Amino acid sequence: MNNNEQPTKRRGITVEDLLRLRSVRDPHYAPDGTRAVFVEKSIDEEKQYRSHLWIWAADGSVRQWTFGRWRDMKPRFSPRGEMIAFLSDRSGRTQLWLLPANGGEARQLTFFKNGVRDYVWSPDGTFLIALTTLGDEETIEDREEQKTAEQKPADSKPRVVERLYYKSDASGFLDGKQDVLVRIDAASGKTEALTGREEEIGSFAVSPTGQTLAFVANRNDDPDTTFTRDIVLFDLESKAETNLTNGCGTFASLAWSPDGTKLAAIGHDLAYLGATLHRLYVFEPERGTKRVLTADWDVHLGDAMVGDTHADAKGPGPIWASDGSGLYVTASERGRVNLYFVPLDGPIVPMIEGNFHLYGLAIHPSEQQAIAAMSEPTVIGDLYIISLEDGTKTRLTRANEALENEVVFADAEPFTYRSADGWEIQGWIMKPPGLGEGEKAPLVVEIHGGPHAMYGFTFFHEFQLLVSRGYAVLFTNPRGSHGYGQAFVNAVRGDYGGMDYEDIMAGVDAAISKFDFIDETRLGVTGGSYGGFMTNWIVGHTDRFKAAVTQRSISNWLSFSGVSDIGYFFTKWEVGCDIWEDAERLWHHSPLKYVQNMRTPLLILHSERDYRCPIEQAEQLFIALKQLGRETKLVRFPDANHDLSRTGNPALRLERLRQIVGWFDHYLKGPLD
């Protein structure tokens, strides 16, 4: 820039900028470490999600590898590096495809009627194991139905239900479908079903010898009410099975040691039911031993971060060191997701540590470096090469460079405060850029879902949008959140609307006291799922807020217990009883009980296919408020589920954001009383 040029003034981010966000994720090294493949997810001009494969080479070059109007996902080099397997919906269903690593046409490997959910390579690269689902009368020979211009309407038949667990927010009505693991020959595509129909197969992995398949499944006699998930060992030659865990816990993220003598898993013993911290287990099947390597580490393993940009990016499970001396794991702690090394013997060592969200990882075969997908409050997310020896970080991608150079982002300043009973709570404040000296901004309080999840150091489009429109944004991790140990995450159970409410309100008071730019006369509050429950609870217990937006919320535990896909067990796990045991207790914790106290203008946003918090929860609250003559509006989102704000239809996501900012603009920026 010469002396006569003026720097371009950056603008605030907009609702429509959601369409420009790109999420780079899921890196995977080639066996020789000279290349890596990763995925870039975006939204196209038709407001449809697309994802494509990209290749990075050790010379620093980065180039797009696949193209088209579809979604290519989960790329993995074959053990010898000559092929890349990946999942793609280019045929209609998500199927398994193979692509020559040096270039060429992709070849469809599977044609299963219900597609492929996941897969792994065999150690020698001659076959793959894929996970599919089958209905009552379906077989693995049944092929996917090709899309046609005109689809025939479904037959009008009644749906007969005989099980407690018959629908899923992610999958809709299950209709008797069960999981099957299938062996696929890489050259011919020949298939062989390895398992019968199983309940909820999770992680699976083939041993280094290629002889044993380990997989996680629900092997309980009553799978709807028993929540352990066992590790099953399956001999690929003899077809013999061994249950390795026999109901001692719930497990996922399997990984064989390099010598094949040990099997690592992430899991827990359900001691605190859904609030139990995830631990690192190591089994030695031949010796019959089990160790919990992180038993004394009061930290939750894995990624508990809440966000709206990388929510569906699946981070890595445990990764073995090449010498079998320990494992690399990610962990959620104090609003950060970082990388650690857990040795079989010795202290846990931080490997990639800082105020950021590590949401994807690949370890180089030499273990001297890693590729990490990382996000920060002012960095949307990119891949970095990080030295595991000295921490040196080199940015590998700049997927959002144009947008980041065009808009101004507000950083999230962390702070801590004390709740009413003395517990320390972590929070963050975001100040509107350009706010002048002495000027004040209205405050929007954001409350995360879960409640066993975590806000923290990650990019959040919704937060940046509110800040760009002149709002300060406060977000906190009240008790019940991950990141602060077992006692903290368990403390909300049986106390919804109790000290968790006090934690949030103490955060509002602390922020107003600490940050003089907050206008305490113009307060708004919003949240989704548990955050929606808490928004409903707040406006039923205080008139401090001038506007509220409740999203995919719970208003009535009495009905929630019978209509949610998880309600029949989640209600007892979290509130403490079943409806026939103590209906008064469920009503006491229901925001609807306090509807006569609700005088804050309340916008209610809900998806019509939300089976996690069904829309009747919104309808009950809306009708009661209207009967009472309160200021409220219900916005229903068709063909959307509980994940609307994170992975829902982009056009509906845009409208959701417009509704939120429109409501707050009307009630927090208009004339004061």
The amino acid sitting at 605 is L
C-alpha distance across the termini of the chain, in Å? 49
In the three-class reduction of DSSP (H, G, I as helix; E, B as strand; rest coil), residue 553 is classed as coil
Of residues 406, 433, 525, 399, the one with CA closest to residue 474? 525
Pairing mode, strands 279-284 and 263-268:
antiparallel
| Cβ neighbour number for residue 501 with a 10 Å cutoff | 18
Long-range pairs for 383-389 at CB < 8 Å and ≥24 separation?
383/24, 383/27, 383/38, 383/56, 386/352, 388/351, 388/352, 388/363
C-alpha to C-alpha distances, 70 to 85, 91, 111, 371, nearest whole angstrom: 16, 9, 17, 25
3-state secondary structure 369-435: EEEEEEEECCEEEEEEEEECCCCCEEECCCCCHHHHHHECCCCCEEEEEECCCCCEEEEEEECCCCC
Give yes or no for a contact between 88 and 95, defined as CB atoms under 8 angstroms apart.
yes
> Which residue is associated with the tokens 């211009």?
149
Indicate the pairing of strand 441-447 with strand 424-430: unpaired
60 burial via Cβ count (<10 Å: 0-12, 13-18, 19+): exposed
Which active-site residues does the annotation give?
Answer: 529, 642
Query: Can you say how many angstroms the Cα of residue 466 is from the centroid of all Cα atoms in its chain?
Result: 22
Strand partners of residue 369: 387
* Cα(524)–Cα(526) distance, integer angstroms: 7
Q: Under 8 Å CB-to-CB from 606, ≥6 apart: which residues?
A: 551, 552, 553, 613, 615, 617, 618, 634, 635, 636, 637
Q: Most distant CA pair in the chain: distance in Å?
A: 78
Amino acid at 496: Y
Which class for 339: exposed (0-12), middle (13-18), buried (19 or more C-beta within 10 A)? Answer: buried
Does a cis peptide bond (omega within 30 degrees of 0) precede residue 451? yes
Rounded Cα distance between 92 and 70, Å, is 9
Give the whole-angstrom CA distance, residue 106 versus residue 443: 51
| Three-state secondary structure call for residue 595 | helix
**C-alpha to C-alpha distance for 628 and 173, rounded to whole angstroms:** 36
Vertex 184: Cα angle to 178 and 190 (nearest 5): 110
